[in-house]
Each structure stands twice: as structure tokens, then as C-alpha cells.
């Protein structure tokens, strides 16, 4: 049975944002423009940080990694969507679909962890300024980034290994514009209990620990801010953390909207539109916020 499924199943069908051919070409131009702005904006940050020795600090080291991840994150889904728009096709191969799931989940998780490390960096810079260079040394910064990548590498790999055990009927339609893990588990033709349990546990852990770290960091920052009497010192704190706080709010805000729409709204088209917010809109805004 398993052998039959793997020989028959060669591709999935993705949900289109519109069935109108003319509107698809318009969407192609719109998403291509947003994708180019996202890539060029984040490449600009990488170029500036690498070329200016004054920006070789922990904060900009984490920011450059965040920009790199955002480029990879958008490149996981949008190029395939653009190809389908242009060719007016809905096909995606089985191997492409699994690759999309793997890299999408990995880059999304690394993004999450990097925002947490940036919150920790802000906390150390404001609450322990005299020990900042000692605590946030280059070895620790590299170690934190490596941990982000290693954790998500193995978590995403386990997702794919579990997903590869499932069977799908030929021509299965995925009600999304890319291969999202939750949607794939819904259309699986075999029992996905182990996949669902692992997904719930990992999602809970990947949300609880980073959010706890961010909330703790900002609670300490606010506490330090309340003890400051100088307006200039308060402005310096805001300039240090303001951009990061905006990105965190945008990231978790769109993720929360996506989760609520997924659980409360039965409309797959509505869920798809909301997904565009965190897969396209958030990465495109990051360069504008930080620059």
C-alpha cells in the first residue's frame, strides 16, 4: 500500500488566491514587487552591517542574521507561488512540498528564536550596561545563533520524517497557497496522530519559551525605565528597543491573527489571506522598521 502511494503520488494541487486569469497576472506583479522589496531591503541591511565596522556589535549581528532568515523565509514560498501565478498552474511536486514544509518551519522557528536573543541583548544593554561587552561577547553571540539553527534543524527534520510516513491520494488538493504542515496533516489519507501530537508539543514549546524570554526581558527593561529620571536616558532606551519591540509586536500579532482565524473561521480563503500577512507583509516591513 505504501509503495503504491509513493508511485502514484507525484504532486499536490495548491489553492489559488484567485481563479480569474487576469487577476492572477495582477497578483503576480504585486507579489513579485513585494518579494523584490523584501529581498533588496534585507540585502541592504546585510551589506550595511558587513561594510561598516561601527556596526559590528551584537545587536547588528543578530539583526543581520534576522535579515538573512527573512530572505530565506520568503524565498521558501513566494517564488513557487509566482511560478504558479504566471503559468496559471496549481501543481507542486511531492518532494517540493516536503522541502517547503521543512524550510518554512525551520526559518519560522529561527526567526522566533532570533527575536528572543535580540530581546535578551536589549535587556543586557539596558539593565547591565557596564557588563554588556563582557556578557555579550562574540563567542556567546555566535553560540546563541548556532543554537537557534541547530534546534530548528532537528525539529524540522523530525517533522519531515513523520510526514514521510503518511499516505496521500493522487491529486490531493491542499487548501493553501503553499504546503503548510497543518493543512497537509488534514488531507493525509492515513492516521496522523503522532504528527499532530508532535506538532502541538513543539508549537507549544517554541511559543512558550521564546515568549517567556521576551516578556521577562521587557519586564526588566520597563522596570529599569521606571527608575530613570532623565528624559534623555528614557529616549535612549526607546531608541535601543523601539525597533525590536515593533518587529516582535508585528511578528506575534500576525501569528495570533493567523491562529485565531485558523481555529475560529472555517473559510480557507480567509485563512489564506491572513497567512499572507506573516509570510509576506512581516518580512517586507522589517527593513523599513530597522532602517
The pLDDT score that the predictor gives to residue 271 is 60
Which cell is 84 given? 504558479
Q: How many CB atoms lie within 10 A of CB 85?
A: 24
Q: Are 76 and 41 in contact (CB under 8 A)?
A: no
> What is the grid cell recorded at 49?
552591517
The predicted structure's pLDDT at residue 287: 82
CATH number, domain containing residue 134: 1.20.1070.10
Count CB atoms within 10 A of the CB of residue 208: 10
User: Is-above-0.75 flag for pTM?
Assistant: yes
The Cα–Cα gap between 38 and 74 comes to 8
* Ranges of residues in the chain whose predicted pLDDT is under 50: 1-8, 267
Over the range 163-198, which residues count as b (16 or more CB within 10 Å of their CB) and which as e? beebebeeebebbbbbbbbebbbeebeeebeebeee
Separation of alpha carbons 213 and 265, rounded Å: 30
Q: Compute CA distances 281 → 94, 104, 106, 269, 272, whole Å.
A: 27, 15, 19, 17, 13
Q: How many domains are contained in the chain? A: 1
Q: How confident is the model at residue 218, as a pLDDT?
A: 87
Which residues does 110 contact at the CB level (< 8 Å), separation at least 6? 69, 148, 149, 152
Q: Which residues pair with 174 in a beta bridge?
A: 14
- pLDDT at residue 8, as a whole number: 45
Q: How far apart are CA 227 and CA 46, in angstroms?
A: 36
Confirm if 271 and 262 have CB atoms less than 8 A apart. yes
Which domain range does residue 43 map to? 2-290
Q: Quote the CA–CA distance of 276 and 282 in Å, as a whole number.
A: 9
Amino acid at each position: 500500500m505504501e509503495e503504491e502511494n509513493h508511485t502514484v503520488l507525484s504532486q499536490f494541487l495548491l489553492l489559488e488566491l484567485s481563479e480569474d486569469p487576469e487577476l492572477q497576472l495582477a497578483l503576480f506583479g504585486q507579489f513579485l514587487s513585494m518579494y523584490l522589496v523584501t529581498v533588496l531591503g534585507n540585502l541592504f541591511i546585510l551589506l550595511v552591517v558587513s561594510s561598516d565596522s561601527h556596526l559590528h556589535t551584537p545587536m547588528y549581528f543578530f539583526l543581520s542574521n534576522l535579515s538573512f532568515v527573512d530572505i530565506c523565509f520568503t524565498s521558501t514560498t513566494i517564488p513557487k507561488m509566482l511560478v504558479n501565478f504566471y503559468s496559471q498552474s496549481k501543481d507542486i511536486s511531492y518532494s517540493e512540498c516536503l522541502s517547503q514544509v521543512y524550510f518554512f518551519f525551520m526559518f519560522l522557528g529561527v526567526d522566533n528564536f532570533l527575536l528572543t536573543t535580540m530581546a535578551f541583548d536589549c535587556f543586557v544593554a539596558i539593565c547591565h550596561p557596564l557588563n554588556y561587552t563582557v556578557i555579550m561577547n562574540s563567542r556567546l553571540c555566535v553560540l546563541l545563533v548556532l543554537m537557534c539553527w541547530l534546534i530548528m534543524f532537528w525539529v524540522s527534520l523530525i517533522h519531515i520524517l513523520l510526514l514521510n510516513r503518511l499516505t496521500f491520494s493522487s491529486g490531493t488538493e491542499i487548501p493553501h497557497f503553499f504546503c503548510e504542515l497543518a493543512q497537509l496533516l488534514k488531507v493525509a489519507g492515513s492516521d496522523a496522530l503522532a504528527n499532530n501530537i508532535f506538532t502541538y508539543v513543539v508549537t507549544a514549546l517554541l511559543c512558550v519559551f521564546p515568549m517567556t524570554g521576551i516578556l521577562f526581558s521587557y519586564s526588566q527593561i520597563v522596570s529599569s525605565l521606571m527608575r530613570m529620571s532623565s528624559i534623555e536616558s528614557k529616549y535612549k532606551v526607546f531608541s535601543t528597543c523601539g525597533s525590536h519591540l515593533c518587529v516582535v509586536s508585528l511578528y506575534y500579532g500576525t501569528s495570533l491573527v493567523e491562529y485565531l482565524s485558523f481555529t475560529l473561521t472555517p473559510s480557507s480563503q480567509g485563512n489564506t489571506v491572513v497567512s499572507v500577512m506573516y509570510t509576506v507583509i512581516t518580512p517586507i516591513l522589517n527593513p523599513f522598521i530597522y532602517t
